[in-house]
Amino acid sequence: MNGSCYNLELREGANSSLMTKVGFVSLGCPKNLVDSEVMMGILAREGYELTPRADEAEVLVVNTCSFIEAAQKESVDAILEMAEHKKFGAAKKLIVAGCLVERFRAQILEQVPEVDAVVGTGDVERIMEAVEGDLRVLPAQPPAFLYHDLTPRIVTTPKHAAYIKIAEGCDHPCTFCIIPQLRGAFRSRRFESVVREAENLAKAGAREITLIGQDTTSYGEDLGLRDGLAQLLGKLAQTDDLLWVRFLYAYPNRVTQKLLDTIAEHPRLAKYMDMPLQHASRNVLARMKRGSNGGAFMKLLERIRGTIPGVSLRTSFIVGFPGETENDFEELCDFVKAAKLDWMGVFEYSDVDNAGSYALDEKVDAETIRERRDRLMAIQKKISRENLRAKYLRANSRAAKDRTFRALVEGPSKDNPLVWEARLEGMAPEIDGKLYLTDIELANGEVAEAGDVARVEITKTDAYDLIGRVVEILPRPAARNGASVAPMPPVAAAEKLHRIATGAPLRVLG
C-alpha cells in the first residue's frame, strides 16, 4: 500500500510555533471515535498541530453523540464548555460535528452563537473547509460518507489495540432507534480496504483489532457477499502479529452457522460475541419492530455455545419500553436468569422525538423504569460473579495450564497507578470488566509492558473484575518498519488521552 496518504509529517519548513493548534472532544461510541480520528488525520496532514489542552487550542472540534437523552445532554454540556474557551481562552473557532448535528443542524448555530460551523456524520471529510471558514452549514441530506484505508487517520487508542469501522449506517426499522437518521443507510467498506487497514495497524504494533459497525453481521450484503463477515474474519485471522480480532455488534437474525464455525476455527478470532437482544418478551419485541422472542434467543445461544466452546457472551436490554408490563419484565428477568450471559448492559428507555416509539402509548413512568433496571442488573451481577469464578478461578485444578490465561497487558490503572490493567479474550475494550494485575514482574526480573501478551494466574474474582499476576511474558513480535498508520502524536504522561464514553469525565483529544 502507498503510505503517502497516511504520512502526517508537517508541511515542509513549517514552524510549530506558527502552526494553528486544534483540540478535539470526542463523545459517544467507537464509531464516533473513528470519525474523530479521521478528522484529526485530515487536519494533521494539512499542517495543523493537535493539542490535548483546550486552553491552548485555537480551533476546538466537539464530535457529538445523540443516541439517547443522556448522551445528548452530555454533548450540549461539552459544546457550552468549549464555548467558554472561545470567550475567554485562545480559541478563535468552535466547530460541532457528529450525530447531534444530524438532528439539530440549524438549532445549534442559532442557539449557540459561539459555534462557527457544523459538520454532520456525512460531512467528515469536509472538516478542513469548516476549520478554514469555507463551510458553515451544509443542507441536510442522508449521510453517505465512508472512510477507507487511504483516508488520513490518527489512531488515538493505545498502540496495541485499534478499531476498524467496516460498515456505516443501518437499515433495521427498530422503533426505539434513530441511527438510520443519524448515520444513513447501511453501507459496507470494500473487503480489500478493510484487510489493508488491519495489516497496516498490525505492522504499526496493534495486537488486537475490533471491527465495528451498527450491524457488523450484515457486512457485505450490499456488496453481494454471502456471509461477508465470516469471509472477512477468516481473512483477518491470517494477519501476522495479531492476537485477537473481535467484532461489535451482532444482530440475532444475522448470525449464521458459517459465522460461528469461522469464529470457532481460527485461534486469532476472539471467542466473544456482543449481540444486543433488547428484550425477551414477544410483545415488547414486536412493538420494537425487532421480532423474535426469548425462546428463539435461547436456542440461538445454545447453538453459539455448542459451536464455540468457552465463548463469552454479552448483550444489552432496554427496560421501560412503552407497553412493557410487569409480566413482560418478569419474562425478561426469567430469560436473564436462564441465559447466564457473561456481560450485560441495561438501558433505561427514554423518548426521542423522531423515533418511532415516541408515538407509542402505554408509557412507563421514570421511577418504574429505574427500579426495573436496578432489579435486572442485580440479577446479572450475581450471574457475572458466578460465571467469572467458574471460568477463571480453578482452584481445584492441578494442571498449571488450567490456572493461567492469555491476557493483553494494557498498562497502569487509571484508578490506581500501583496496579496494572489487562484484558482476557472474553473482555472487549472499554465495555466489559478488567483484569487487575498486582504483580507484573517475573522472578528473573523481566517486567511486563503495555501491549505485551502474558500468561496470568487469576487469584481473585469479583462481580465484574478479576485480580491476577503475570507468570509468563510471551515472545514479543519483531519490530515492524514501514507502517502506514500514524499513531497519535506523543503527549506528556499526565495528558494521556482517553476516549469519552457517555457519562465519563470530559477530556480533550489531541
Q: What is the pLDDT along the chain (510 residues), one digit of tens a residue?
A: 333 333 333 333 334 446 899 999 999 889 999 999 999 999 999 999 999 888 889 999 999 998 777 888 899 899 999 989 888 888 899 999 999 999 898 899 999 999 999 999 999 999 999 999 877 777 777 788 889 999 999 999 999 999 999 999 999 999 999 999 889 999 999 999 999 999 999 999 999 999 999 999 999 999 999 999 999 999 999 998 999 999 999 999 999 999 999 999 999 999 999 999 999 999 999 999 999 999 999 999 999 999 999 999 999 999 999 999 999 999 999 999 999 999 999 999 999 888 999 999 999 999 999 999 999 999 999 999 999 999 998 655 555 566 799 999 999 998 888 899 999 999 999 999 999 999 999 989 999 999 999 999 999 999 999 999 999 999 988 764 444 445 444 333 333 333 333 333 334 443
Cis omega before residue 6 (within 30°)?
no
Cα–Cα distance for residue pair 339/294, rounded to 1 Å: 10
**Cα–Cα distances in Å, from 176 out to 97, 102, 356, 359?**
23, 17, 6, 11
Name, in order, each residue with C-beta under 8 angstroms of 396's C-beta and a sequence gap of 6 or more: none
Indicate the SS3 state at residue 120.
coil
**405: helix, coil or strand?**
strand
User: What whole-number distance in Å separates Cα of residue 504 and Cα of residue 492?
Assistant: 21
Return phi, psi of residue 230, to 5°.
Answer: -60, -45
pTM above 0.85, yes or no: yes
Amino acid identity for residue 406 in this structure: R
Alpha-carbon gap, residue 115 to 134, rounded angstroms? 14
Residue 213, SS3 per DSSP: coil
How many Cβ atoms sit within 10 Å of the Cβ of residue 64? Answer: 28
**34 and 147 Cβ atoms separated by less than 8 Å:** yes
Contact 6, 196 (CB under 8 A): no
What lies within 8 Å, CB to CB, of 399 at 6+ separation is none
Q: Which residue has the cell 495528558?
A: 495
Distances (CA, A) of 145 to 141, 186, 318, 416: 11, 11, 30, 40
Q: Residue 352 gets which letter from DSSP?
A: -
User: Closest Cα to residue 68, out of 298, 348, 270, 434?
Assistant: 348
C-alpha to C-alpha distance for 292 and 272, rounded to whole angstroms: 22
Q: What is the pLDDT of residue 138?
A: 77
Whose cell is 456482543? That residue is 274
d(CA 432, CA 453): 19
Rounded Cα distance between 371 and 366, Å, is: 9
* CA 434/CA 429 separation, integer angstroms: 9
Diameter of the chain measured on Cα atoms: 70
Burial class (CB in 10 A: 0-12, 13-18, 19+), 414: exposed
User: Which amino acid, residue 146?
Assistant: L
What residue type is assigned to position 429 of the chain? P
